[in-house]
């Protein structure tokens, strides 16, 4: 920074004041192109100053007379001619010029001093300025004592201007001087009056302290309400009329209004859309800033203010600000989590999951194919595992990990239903109703489910025919279920056949095991 300032002063300071150069450069300090940006402004100022000098422009407003007087005084003072000055103005200018010449001689005499002597001289001249600042300004001015003095004079002037109080003490006059606040207690001659004197002093001190306290601005509910409505409308990109209606319905309370917006957003997005991973990350950052806000509510705030995350922070700050309205109940609301009830049933479902019982998924995953559901489930569990590891250092990550774990479980249920539907379609294409069931190409779980279902349908379809005698053939050869030899299984041993046989026997069916097939010949006695 010092090198850039020295470079700029060398280029512009003969024409432009050093304080102007320093002020312009400080506006761009810290940026990559600070030097170039400062030069662009200083070039224009330097050009204007040069034009001003060429046109003999007089900024004093004296139509050029002052400039002529100064020029004449300088030339006459520089020469040894002694002339009589007849004008009072000319005498004043001559005196000023003489003083300037004396000051110039003084600074020329101090040029022979070294840096330490100049620094000590400036420190004695400006005792209220820090020694390190004096040293910095002297070095910045290139060891020029005259320029350093000007810089320090400007610094002292600005420092004193900041410390001057805005209000000056006014001496009371007239009847105001007899007011109690301006009453100066008189000293009593007797000792018993000391108590009264102390009391008068206390009254005076109390009155003075009360007068020092600034009066609070008048609270205007109408302007406050309009500003709060404008704040919510600008953050949510909603119309001012809609926000105003909601604001007055909630008792003119900004926390209650924002709470109502959050409730509406949660209700409208509960079953139609799941938060994206980026949205969850922004919600976690919002909860870290405002720990009293639930993760679900943070997601709703981000939806309301999308795509501006700072607007979500503004609404969160306003949400947690206590309201003067008595009807504001959002902050004091106790959020009680609701959990799904446990299903304590002894029966194990054997049919495929119905679509009505499946949890809703995001529309972006449709169509719900086996491949798309499998990819989405793997991604959800991977994200849950990653966030769970981060949860060891930040408990807020555990909430996000639980969300993704639940999403993975929901996707698993949909994947099971999709796999079951694919298996049913495959078996239906290679099935002979009432005679043969081919289970090639399906998983063990789907094979067991389909075998039990089709065996029950076959048995119910026989009706009275399943009882032999009276011309009825009974079950005949039974119901044939092809399970294969298992040569393509791991280790060359079949898994499908043994699993189907165990399931059918457990359900009470009489079976005959053949080579690569199983025959159901009836029900056992219960």
326 domain residue, yes or no: no
pLDDT surpassing 60 at residue 23: yes
Cβ pair 235, 308 in contact under 8 A: yes
Indicate whether 448 and 384 sit together in one domain: no
CA dihedral of residues 123, 149, 19, 104 (deg, nearest 10): -170
Biggest CA-to-CA distance, the chain: 160
Beta-sheet pairing, 436-438 with 509-513: unpaired
pLDDT surpassing 60 at residue 129: yes
Strand partners, 436: 432, 480
Indicate whether 117 and 25 sit together in one domain: yes
Cβ pair 42, 24 in contact under 8 A: yes
User: Rounded to whole angstroms, how far apart are CA atoms 25 and 8?
Assistant: 9
Domain range spanning residue 407?
A: 359-421
Angle at the Cα of 328 from the Cα atoms of 263 and 232, rounded to 5 degrees: 60
pLDDT band of residue 378 (cuts 50, 70, 90) is confident
Helical spans, DSSP H, in 111-193:
115-125, 131-140, 145-163
79 domain residue, yes or no: yes
**pLDDT tens per residue across span 433-454:** 777 888 888 888 888 888 888 8
Long-range contacts, 137-146 (Cβ 8 Å, 24+): 139/2, 139/115, 140/2, 140/5, 140/6, 140/9, 141/9, 141/18, 142/6, 142/9, 143/115, 143/118, 145/107, 145/110, 145/111, 145/113, 145/118, 145/121, 146/107
User: Rounded to whole angstroms, how far apart are CA atoms 48 and 66?
Assistant: 21
Which of 290, 319, 348 is a domain's end point? 319
- Number of residues assigned to the chain: 526
**pLDDT tens per residue across span 243-272:** 888 888 888 888 888 989 988 888 887 766
Indicate whether 386 and 519 sit together in one domain: no
For residue 488, the model assigns a pLDDT of 67
Cβ pair 370, 446 in contact under 8 A: no
Domain count, the chain: 4
Which of 291, 319, 347 is a domain's end point? 319
Rg (alpha carbons) of the chain, rounded to whole number: 47
Instruction: Summarize the confidence of residues 182-197 as an average pLDDT.
Output: 51
413 domain residue, yes or no: yes
Instruction: Summarize the confidence of residues 227-253 as an average pLDDT.
Output: 86
Cβ pair 388, 397 in contact under 8 A: yes
pLDDT band of residue 338 (cuts 50, 70, 90) is very low
Indicate whether 127 and 52 sit together in one domain: yes
60 domain residue, yes or no: yes
Indicate whether 118 and 26 sit together in one domain: yes
For residue 526, the model assigns a pLDDT of 54
Give the residue from 113, 174, 186 showing the smallest Cα distance to 145: 113
190 domain residue, yes or no: no
For residue 292, the model assigns a pLDDT of 81
SS3 for 479? strand
Indicate whether 16 and 138 sit together in one domain: yes
Indicate whether 6 and 155 sit together in one domain: yes
- Look at the block and give the residue holding tokens 């000051």: 103
Helix (H) or strand (E) holding 434: none
Indicate whether 97 and 155 sit together in one domain: yes
Indicate whether 380 and 263 sit together in one domain: no
Q: What is the DSSP letter of 237?
A: T
Indicate whether 409 and 434 sit together in one domain: no
Give the residue from 358, 456, 332 showing the smallest Cα distance to 410: 358
For residue 343, the model assigns a pLDDT of 42
Which of 115, 148, 163 is a domain's end point? 163
Cβ pair 430, 438 in contact under 8 A: yes
For residue 499, the model assigns a pLDDT of 86
**What percentage of residues in the chain have a pLDDT greater than 70?**
63
490 domain residue, yes or no: yes
Indicate whether 416 and 449 sit together in one domain: no
User: Rounded to whole angstroms, how far apart are CA atoms 222 and 390?
Assistant: 48
For residue 466, the model assigns a pLDDT of 67
User: Rounded to whole angstroms, how far apart are CA atoms 510 and 459?
Assistant: 12
368 domain residue, yes or no: yes
Return the sign of the alpha-carbon dihedral for residues 152, 154, 159, 163: positive
Indicate whether 401 and 495 sit together in one domain: no
pTM of the model: 0.35
Cβ pair 411, 383 in contact under 8 A: no
For residue 171, the model assigns a pLDDT of 55
349 domain residue, yes or no: no
């Amino acid at each position: 920074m010092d090198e850039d300032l020295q470079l700029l002063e060398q280029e512009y300071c003969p024409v432009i004041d050093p304080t102007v150069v320093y002020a312009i450069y400080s506006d761009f300090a810290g940026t990559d192109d600070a030097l170039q940006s400062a030069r662009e402004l200083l070039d224009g100022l330097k050009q204007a100053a040069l034009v001003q000098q060429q046109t003999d422009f007089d900024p004093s407003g004296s139509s050029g007379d002052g400039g002529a007087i100064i020029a004449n005084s300088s030339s006459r003072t520089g020469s040894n001619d002694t002339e009589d000055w007849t004008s009072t103005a000319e005498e004043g200018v001559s005196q000023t010029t003489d003083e300037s010449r004396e000051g110039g001689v003084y600074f020329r005499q101090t040029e022979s001093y070294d840096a330490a002597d100049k620094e000590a001289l400036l420190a004695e001249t400006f005792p209220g300025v820090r020694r390190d600042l004096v040293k910095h300004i002297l070095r910045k001015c290139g060891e020029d004592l005259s320029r350093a003095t000007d810089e320090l004079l400007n610094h002292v002037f600005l420092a004193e201007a900041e410390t001057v109080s805005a209000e000056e003490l006014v001496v009371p006059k007239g009847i105001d001087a007899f007011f109690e606040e301006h009453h100066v207690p008189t000293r009593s001659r007797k000792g018993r009056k000391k108590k009264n004197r102390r009391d008068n002093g206390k009254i005076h001190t109390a009155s003075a302290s009360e007068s020092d306290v600034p009066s609070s601005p008048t609270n205007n509910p109408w302007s406050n309400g309009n500003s709060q409505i404008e704040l919510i409308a600008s953050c949510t990109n909603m119309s001012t009329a809609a926000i105003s209606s909601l604001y007055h319905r909630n008792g003119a309370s900004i926390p209650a209004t924002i709470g109502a917006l959050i409730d509406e957003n949660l209700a409208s997005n509960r079953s139609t859309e799941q938060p994206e991973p980026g949205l969850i990350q922004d919600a976690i950052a919002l909860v870290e800033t405002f720990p009293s806000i639930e993760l679900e509510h943070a997601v709703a705030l981000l939806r309301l203010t999308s795509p501006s995350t700072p607007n979500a922070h503004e609404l969160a700050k306003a949400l947690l600000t206590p309201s003067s309205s008595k009807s504001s109940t959002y902050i004091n609301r106790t959020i009680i989590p609701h959990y799904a009830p446990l299903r304590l049933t002894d029966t194990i479902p054997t049919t495929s999951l119905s679509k009505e019982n499946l949890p809703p998924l995001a529309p972006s995953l449709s169509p719900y194919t086996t491949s798309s559901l499998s990819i989405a489930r793997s991604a959800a569990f991977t994200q849950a595992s990653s966030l769970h590891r981060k949860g060891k250092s930040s408990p807020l990550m555990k909430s996000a990990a639980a969300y993704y774990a639940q999403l993975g479980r929901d996707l698993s249920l949909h994947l099971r239903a999709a796999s079951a539907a694919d298996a049913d379609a495959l078996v239906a294409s290679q099935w002979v109703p009432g005679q043969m069931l081919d289970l090639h190409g399906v998983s063990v779980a789907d094979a067991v489910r389909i075998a039990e279902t089709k065996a029950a349908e076959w048995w119910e379809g026989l009706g009275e025919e399943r009882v032999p005698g009276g011309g009825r053939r009974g079950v005949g050869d039974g119901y044939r279920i092809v399970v294969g030899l298992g040569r393509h299984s791991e280790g060359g041993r079949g898994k499908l056949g043994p699993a189907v046989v165990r399931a059918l026997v457990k359900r009470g069916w009489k079976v005959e095991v053949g080579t690569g097939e199983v025959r159901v010949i009836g029900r056992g006695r219960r």
